[in-house]
Amino acid sequence: MSVYERHVFVCTRGEWCPAVDGDGLGVHARLKALVKAAGLADRVRINHSGCFSQCGNGPMLVVYPDAVWYAGVSPDDADEIFERHLLGGEPVERLRYQPATMGPHKLPRDESGHVVR
Ligand code: FES
């Protein structure tokens, strides 16, 4: 049995997800606030994480024990992930990481750091 019912890792320590490709830090903060407000801190854990080595597809997070990866998540998306997945148990399919269709695990970048697709 797990210590937590769901354990979420948000890429906030990588080079790109936290603040370049989106607002990974904001995603982490929003999820943390939602869990706290719902009184679920003893059942759902939101953690910072280092790079997932899937750079360019972020901001990214992963939910365990479901092993569901999300890509391109915004702080507003965090509300939907919280409601539907963390509370309801149903992954948010529109945000799910699809490595087969989203390109290489590390997308190339131009000189200014923007992702080149
Ligand atoms: S910086 Fe987030 S996956 Fe690499």
DSSP characters over 35-77: HHHTT-TTTEEEEEE---S-TTS-S-EEEETTTEEE-S--HHH
Ligand 1 geometric centre to CA of 88 (Å): 27
- Residue identifier of the C-alpha nearest atom 1 of ligand 1: 14
Distance CA 78, CA 105 (A): 22
pLDDT of residue 40: 97
Q: How many domains does the chain have?
A: 1
Is 115 among the domain residues?
Answer: no
Is 61 among the domain residues?
Answer: yes
Is 55 among the domain residues?
Answer: yes
Is 49 among the domain residues?
Answer: yes
pLDDT of residue 105: 79
CATH number of the domain enclosing 10: 3.40.30.10
Is 35 among the domain residues?
Answer: yes
Ligand 1 geometric centre to CA of 1 (Å): 29
Q: Which domain holds residue 50?
A: 6-102
Mean pLDDT (the chain, rounded): 93
Is 48 among the domain residues?
Answer: yes
Q: What is the pLDDT of residues 18-70, one digit of tens each?
A: 999 999 999 999 999 999 999 999 999 999 999 999 999 999 999 999 999 99
Q: Is the CB of 73 under 6 A from ligand 1?
A: no
Distance CA 21, CA 5 (A): 29
Dihedral sign for Cα 45, 67, 23, 106, please.
positive
Query: 109 — phi, psi (to 5°)?
Result: -130, 155
Is 95 among the domain residues?
Answer: yes
pLDDT of residue 69: 96
Is 109 among the domain residues?
Answer: no
